[in-house]
Amino acid sequence: MLDPVVVAWGYPLTFLELLAFGLALACVVLEVLEIHWAWPLAFASSLLYGWLFQVYRLYGEAGLQLFFAAMAIWGWTQWLYGHRGRGLAPSEDPAGLRIARLDSRRWPLVAAGWLAGWGLLGLGLARFTDSDVPWFDAFPTAGSVLGTLLMGRKLIEAWPVWLGVNIVATALFAWKSLYLTAILYAIFCVLAGIGWRRWLRQLNPAGGRAVNA
């Protein structure tokens, strides 16, 4: 899995990275389209990327992939069987989440959680691992935790969070010479913008009442 299958412009592409690339790309496309099969693909690609990142000493990203794999199971059940609650009538809250918007009063908590996670993880990676990019690695890792939680609950704010994560992650993987993965995350940036726009249209297509969570 770690042996190069092709060398492109001096960069050895392994079967592991190629397979993880394909599954992760398919996962995000299905998320944009609101197709719940995105989550099993997320589970598989996360395990593969966890292996790859550990080899490249990206320990924050490697640990994050284990979290992604566990959360993929949760996200799948949420998209299929989850409820919003919050006093909605049964007819307004069927099994299987619809797109919703995060209550604006919770936005500062999201930002504070990202910053706190970045600080704690950055300190941990700097002190307890041999990572050469602890703070660079920690920022998208902390943001990815928030993005996964928001996506699992099908909240539209997941997309701007993922856009920020993907921009930084693209630079990180290019710095670590994981060029195919850097290209993947650059594509993710585009898909995050597309998903954000599409979900906004789906949220309130005919001027009806939008659901807040």
54-77, pLDDT tens digit by residue? 888 888 778 888 888 999 999 999
Instruction: Phi first, then psi: give them for residue 87, nearest 5 degrees.
Output: 80, 10
Residue 185 pLDDT: 92
Residue 100 included in any domain: no
Residue 154 included in any domain: yes
Residue 55 pLDDT: 86
What gap in Å lies between CA 20 and CA 41, rounded to an integer? Answer: 10
For the record, the structure tokens of 59 come out as 């320990």
Residue 8 pLDDT: 62
Give the confidence band of 9 by pLDDT, cuts at 50, 70, 90: low
For 14-28, 56-70, 135-149, 167-181, which range has the lowest pLDDT when averaged over its residues? 56-70
CB atoms within 10 A of CB 194: 14
Range of the domain at 51: 4-80+107-203
In the predicted structure, residue 100 carries a pLDDT above the cut 80: yes
Higher pLDDT, 157 or 5: 157
CB atoms within 10 A of CB 58: 28
Residue 137 included in any domain: yes
Give the confidence band of 11 by pLDDT, cuts at 50, 70, 90: low
Kindly state the average pLDDT of the residues 180-190. 91
Please tell me the total count of domains within the chain.
1
Residue 86 included in any domain: no
Residue 209 included in any domain: no
Residue 97 included in any domain: no
Residue 181: closest CA among 13, 8, 10: 13
Residue 89 included in any domain: no
For the record, the structure tokens of 133 come out as 């990019």
Residue 170 included in any domain: yes
Q: What is the mean pLDDT of the chain?
A: 86
User: pTM to 2 decimals?
Assistant: 0.82
The DSSP secondary-structure symbol of 2 reads -
Residue 72: closest CA among 31, 16, 125: 31
CA dihedral 82, 65, 20, 33 (to 10 degrees): 30
What gap in Å lies between CA 81 and CA 170, rounded to an integer? Answer: 34
In the predicted structure, residue 195 carries a pLDDT above the cut 50: yes
Give the confidence band of 98 by pLDDT, cuts at 50, 70, 90: confident
